[in-house]
Structure 1
Amino acid sequence: MTTIGVEEEYLLLDPATGLPVPLGDKVRATAGLGNLVADREVQCELLQAQIEAATPVCGTLDEVGGHLLRLRHALAAAAETHGCRIAPCATPPLRRPDPVAVTDQARYRAMLAQAPQLVAEHLVNGMHVHVGVPGRESGVHVLNRIRVWLPTLTALSANSPLWDGQDTGFASWRTVVFSRWPVSGPPPRFAGVADHERRVRHLLDAGLISDTGQVYWQARLSERYPTVEVRCCDVQLGVDDAVMLAGLVRGLVETALAEAAHGVPVPECAQELLQASMWHAARHGLGGTLVAPAGGQRPAGEVVDALLRHVAPALEASGDDRTVTALLRRLRRHGTGAERQRAALGEGGIAAVTGLILSRSTMP
């Protein structure tokens, strides 16, 4: 069984107004004073109205869920001491007219100088899943094989329909906001690890990115860990949905490793088709059609079923099949985060959306 770890990004909101508040440093410091959180598990993000939690390396989905609940509870308690709440939504329902302060780190200051408007609007929160791989060559094989499924994961995870108090018409507006950075979207297909390293080196040498952390492909090789990092998912309202997505991602990686070992051909998908498929998934979520990996639009439910069949042997081998299947069934019954936010908006406006988001922050 391969190892797995999850990073989640949250907003810090004023519970009375629903507006983001720049208290990241204070919340992180307070969370670190307790005995439930290790220093490395909580980090400030680009903007001071965001904070990130990262699980330790896990072997099971039960561990992932337990650590996410622990970290959410610890951060929620720390936030409350400063009069704010953690909000597991991928975009804020409302924004302040003035930009949120940037976290005072050299890298973030450089990003602000490089792209001030993009940074000002970067109030977007994702869920990143790290899955262990034997090495970078294996990692490239995985990237080549899972890239066709990234739009389906984006649709399943969609949790950012609102921006500036309005329905954007997109299920994942975060995906659109993030796509404006120079190196973003689905990764290209690589000829091998040497090709991957050459492409990244060209970006660095050309001065188009300042470090490898700015390779914002929606699936990439981690530079810090021996993992593939899948970054296309919105942060989830509840922990159970995050666990389900983590299980699917691990299933995809394990399936890709097995296919590479048995010489199964890499799925063909032109980069322009994949990028358009990602836009389509961000636009519609599970509410319409998705582009199937084989090409052509199909009802979203059919594509999700195909994903589940694709990873079924890996899920069974890891013992994740019952958990993932049950949680996926529940998500399809109750709706994605985007669908639930829209329902709340229709029933009670922005206040109801904020109430929904804050009420889910420490729930399974």
Structure 2
Amino acid sequence: MTVAGTLGVEEEFHLIDAGSRKLSARAPQLLARLPARSYSAELQRTTVETNSGIARTLDDLRQDILGLRRGLATVAADAGLAIAAAGTAPRSEFADFELTANGRFGRMQEQYRLLVDEQLICGAHIHVGVDDRDLAVEIAQRVQRHLPTLLALSASSPYWNGHDTGYASIRTIIWQRWPTTGATGPLASAAEYDQLVADLIRTGVIADEKMAYFDVRPSSHAPTLELRVCDACPVVDDAVLLAGLFRALVLATARDVEAGVPFTPVAPPLHRAAIWQAARGGLSGNLLSLDAHPRPVPAAAAVRGMIAGLRPQLEELGDWDEVQRLAETLLVRGNSADRQRAGFAERGDLDDVVDLVVAETQGPAEGIVPEVPALRTYASRAGDEAVGPGARPRPQYRRIVDFYRRLKPAAIEERQELRDRLAAEAELSFTVDGQTRGFHVDLVPRLVNSYQWSELRAGLEQRARAIEAFLQDAYGEGRIFRDGVVTAAEIKDGPGWRPEALRLPPTAVRAPVMGFDVVRNEFGGWRVLEDNVRTPSGMAFAIAAREIMDGAAAELVRPPRLLDPRAALPALRRTLAAHAPGGTIVLLSLGGDSSAWYEHRRLAAGAGMLLATPDDVTVADGRVVHLPTGAPIDALYLRLDGELADLRSVAHPELGRAILDVAAEGRVVLANAPGNGIADDKAVYCLVPQLISYYLGERPLIESVPTYRPGDEAERRIVLERVGELVTKPVDGLGGHGVLIGPTATATEVAERRAQIAREPDRWVAQEVVTLSSHPTFAGTVLEPRHIDLRAFVFVRGTGPDDVELADLGLTRVAAAGSMIVNSSQGGGAKDTWILGPED
């Protein structure tokens, strides 16, 4: 048989300084103490390559890899170093590159410059014995369609230059810049392959045949077919799995060639797209099936489908049981990119990621076995904040999960009944369309650690400063209109513009209380979904959620440094009083008919404000007066469901306009002033990054969701074509009303929305679908993942860095089963949000 089926692996390892956890360029010193037949230098002095012997079984290969790693790790440890098998070292930086001193590598650096200077990457190259080079060339072309799946399994390089790149394998993206990466194109024989390489050398683009860096190639020095697409794998068994799969692919393809099975090459652009997709999402997203017409396929399904198709060859090789076991283990555990991101999420420290990769590289073949048992009935998914790969609770959630795991269903039901009693006794409710609804609090709290909270603090305080600057400018000097950042018509023709807001003093703080709806994506990154600048609600409900949890789950141990949401109340008062030195602050509400009457009562009592309805307020002698006490009001915290100018009372039919007259004279501060709707108009939302740049001279620290404005003709065409793929919303919508999530909508709903947008394009916006993170939530007494978001609040006293303050509370909102709309008015619930303060 022309396929010998022997195995070999070349693994590349980063050298890590054990103290600093940065790359160390001491490969020459280590190689001087290691046998040259098994260890060799690479382009950079921060890397050592190992070369296994010839193996015939997966276990032989495993033992060889383990032995080589131990040999290198022992010598490295003597020098104060550790080794890491990963596509990129998590703490690598561009400045870490140091060239290995030899003529060939020096020529490469001279010729390729930046490509060489950024080659701080490591791969795993797998060799399978193929004695016939013509057959090897044929197989190399036929296995192309399976390479994205192998790449996704190996992906281990999410971090580059100290940042999460958003890719599972940024190594692939860096590597693809070389002129000879990717597919060879159609070749009929080894002679044609050799001629291709010779032509490339003759052009001077590459120096020698070793630089033919194709994804799969006949080896330049052995009778093997070499797979070069994979990242280096920290866990030995992951590398063994890839070797077993590639060997089976080679054997299956050789049989097809011998049987004369026809072959249609994958178009190079489709192959490149599929490789990119695998590098982007790894196992967390979809891969592309490289059929006649490619389509997205869940990564796990692609892996299992490939293995099922290779079963005859795996059984022939005696590898079926082992490959199936290793693959399922990897799918449950996640690839290295998944594990690295999970490690980073705990504290936001790349040192933790380095330690994890080193521990896995130098650890047992099967990897580090988690101590915590899995939640076997939990449908874990990528992007779950509490439950990681393998349905195992993440470290910071283990105590919470263990608490509920020990409770019997009857005990959980008792706590849920107590929760409902506490909510009823507190009259915890809200009103939707005239109907009062109870506020449901799930008993599994959501944890936001100190690193995550610090990210939100920096990003949301920045955003609040820019929005306040915009409000003051738009109703003041109008510099932003004169400078052409946005046209006056875009703002003044929008539904949020209120001409009466032009009358307020130029120094007035327009929005002292801002709410931001933020979500996390499948990689753990924060995104601002919406800005709420008119009358953001939820603070009192966040406090109530904590009180209910304290009553219904008092025995659940609280983590250290847990922030008290009640601290937001005095901070709210300080903010409202900042420009009202007289100190009489009134929360003005419509009363029991208001949708947030519970919150109005709770905030007024907790923040030392008087609570008033329109009948409790009048205007006399140039002041706004609180009738029950006769006190002049210094600040009105407006919590109205309509516009102030339209406000009436029994005694004063023009009350709202009279209050505006007093505010125009600077004799009462209006908190959440008229006209703020221009800043939470969803059509203006996509301009916020420009506002941050214009007013602050900074880049956004938290990204927005890509948003389209159908009022623009070019963007309208995009939206109308993709209504079924996007989330569409009315620009002035509140509470989730009018939101259509295209991928889950019916054909009729999509057609109706398309017609609505075509008729009135300025009334709508469209956003790319963000896969919200999920969180364990009780459905009865069983935990299931539900999508969540977070409403956070920023108190604003001006536009300077010290004038904004992220409140130490957050309202986590939970979507109903099968939904991604988290608003309580749309059937969702809430969670107590456990925010952890700084470790010091």
Which TM bucket (shorter chain)?
Answer: over 0.9
Map 1:253-292 onto structure 2 (within 5 A): 253-292=250-289
Question: Is the 1:43–1:51 Cα contact (8 Å) retained in structure 2?
Answer: yes
The match for 1:221 among 218, 222, 225 is 218
The structural deviation recorded for 1:205 is 1.4
Highest Rg: 1 or 2?
A: 2
Q: Which amino acid aligns with 2:12?
A: E
Q: Does the alignment pair 1:243 with 2:240?
A: yes
Whole-Å separation in 1 of the counterparts to 2:266 and 2:114: 33
Q: Which runs of 5+ in 1 are unaligned?
A: 33-37
| Cα deviation digits, residues 146-196 of structure 1 (max 9, x gap) | 111111111111000001121100000100010111111233232332322
What's the secondary structure of 2:194's corresponding residue? helix
What's the secondary structure of 2:310's corresponding residue? helix
Residue aligning to 2:140: 143
Whole-Å separation in 2 of the counterparts to 1:163 and 1:89: 11
Whole-Å separation in 2 of the counterparts to 1:44 and 1:278: 28
Q: Which runs of 5+ in 2 are unaligned?
A: 366-840
Question: Is the 2:91–2:354 Cα contact (8 Å) retained in structure 1?
Answer: no
Residue aligning to 1:53: 50
Question: Is the 1:41–1:53 Cα contact (8 Å) retained in structure 2?
Answer: yes
Whole-Å separation in 2 of the counterparts to 1:164 and 1:264: 46
> Which structure's relative contact order is higher, taking Cα pairs within 8 Å and 6+ residues apart?
1
The match for 2:24 among 21, 26, 31 is 21
Q: Which amino acid aligns with 2:312?
A: P
Whole-Å separation in 1 of the counterparts to 2:86 and 2:95: 20
Residue aligning to 2:301: 302
Question: Is the 1:289–1:299 Cα contact (8 Å) retained in structure 2?
Answer: yes
Map 1:75-94 onto structure 2 (within 5 A): 75-94=72-91
Whole-Å separation in 2 of the counterparts to 1:187 and 1:340: 33
Q: Which amino acid aligns with 1:47?
A: Q
TM (norm. structure 2) is 0.42
Map 1:178-193 onto structure 2 (within 5 A): 178-193=175-190
Residue aligning to 2:750: none
Cα 1:189–1:151 shift into 2, 3 Å: farther
TM (norm. structure 1) is 0.96
| Cα deviation digits, residues 58-85 of structure 1 (max 9, x gap) | 1111111000000100100000111111
Residue aligning to 2:336: 337
Question: Is the 1:11–1:125 Cα contact (8 Å) retained in structure 2?
Answer: yes
| Cα deviation digits, residues 82-116 of structure 1 (max 9, x gap) | 11111111101113453422111211111111122
What's the secondary structure of 1:216's corresponding residue? coil
Cα 1:251–1:332 shift into 2, 3 Å: same
Whole-Å separation in 2 of the counterparts to 1:112 and 1:97: 14
Moved over 3 A (4+): none
| Cα deviation digits, residues 310-355 of structure 1 (max 9, x gap) | 2211111000111111010000001000000000011132011011
Q: Percent of pairs identical after alignment?
A: 36
Question: Is the 2:38–2:51 Cα contact (8 Å) retained in structure 1?
Answer: yes
Residue aligning to 2:403: none
Q: Which amino acid aligns with 1:350?
A: L
The structural deviation recorded for 1:139 is 0.4
The match for 2:194 among 184, 194, 197 is 197
Report the RMSD for the aligned CA atoms in angstroms.
1.2
Whole-Å separation in 2 of the counterparts to 1:6 and 1:97: 28
Q: Which amino acid aligns with 1:334?
A: R
Greater strand fraction, Structure 1 or Structure 2: 2
Question: Is the 2:238–2:330 Cα contact (8 Å) retained in structure 1?
Answer: yes
The match for 2:113 among 116, 135, 144 is 116
Residue aligning to 1:319: 318
Q: Does the alignment pair 1:359 with 2:359?
A: yes
Whole-Å separation in 1 of the counterparts to 2:309 and 2:138: 17
Q: Does the alignment pair 1:212 with 2:209?
A: yes
Whole-Å separation in 2 of the counterparts to 1:310 and 1:267: 18
Larger deviation: 58-67 or 196-205?
Answer: 196-205
